[in-house]
Amino acid sequence: MAAGNLYSADNPVFASFCFYAAVIAVKMLLMSFLTAYHRLTKNVFANPEDAKMSNVKVRTHESVERVRRAHLNDLENVLPFLIIGLLYVGSNPSASCALLYFRVFTACRMLHTVVYAIVVMPQPARALSYFGGMLVNLAMLVSIISTYSHSM
């Protein structure tokens, strides 16, 4: 595929990346609602003005904190994936390899949320889902560096 067409809907790698990036973005946005749900059902608020409306003191709760930590972990991992994924698309990878990376990363992030914030499974479930996504990002970075190091 010509370099100018790598970032178009005609490129199956870019189309796949857009789809999985959108799925992960929706999941990240829904984490805010999951946090709000836990705050409201546990009557736990982080700000004095919110707590005052419910006549409670500012406090924390483990379920709220778990969801918040899962959301922060998304921010630390999904945002790099979005940047790395765009660079990876520009390296013109094979569609099958790219699709595998995008699917594995998405599955790992979904699983991470489930085992950390929803079902709360014991380790190593959370660590495996975290490192699975991290390995995808690293593999894409190695591919990008390998592709472009030849032209330097």
Q: What is the pLDDT along the chain (152 residues), one digit of tens a residue?
A: 666 699 999 999 999 999 999 999 999 999 999 998 988 888 888 878 877 777 787 778 888 899 999 999 999 999 999 999 999 999 999 999 999 999 999 999 999 999 998 888 889 999 999 999 999 999 999 999 999 998 77
Q: Is 61 inside any structural domain? A: yes
Q: Is 28 inside any structural domain? A: yes
Whole domain around residue 49: which residue ranges? 12-147
Q: What CATH code is carried by the domain that includes residue 104?
A: 1.20.120.550
Residue 22: the pLDDT is 98
Stretch (H or E) spanning 54: none
Residue 107 CA to residue 85 CA, distance in Å, equals 15
User: Residue 95 has which token pair?
Assistant: 């569609």
Residue 95 CA to residue 10 CA, distance in Å, equals 12
Model pTM greater than 0.85?
A: yes
Q: Is 31 inside any structural domain? A: yes
Q: HSE of 128 in the Cβ direction (CA atoms, 13 Å)?
A: 9
Number of domains in the chain: 1
Q: 95-113 and 12-42 are packed helices; what angle lies between their axes, rounded to 10 degrees?
A: 0
User: Residue 86 has which token pair?
Assistant: 């765009």
User: Cα 7 to the chain's mean position, in Å?
Assistant: 21
Other CB atoms within a 10 A radius of the CB of residue 51 amount to: 16
Residue 126: the pLDDT is 94
Q: Is 23 inside any structural domain? A: yes
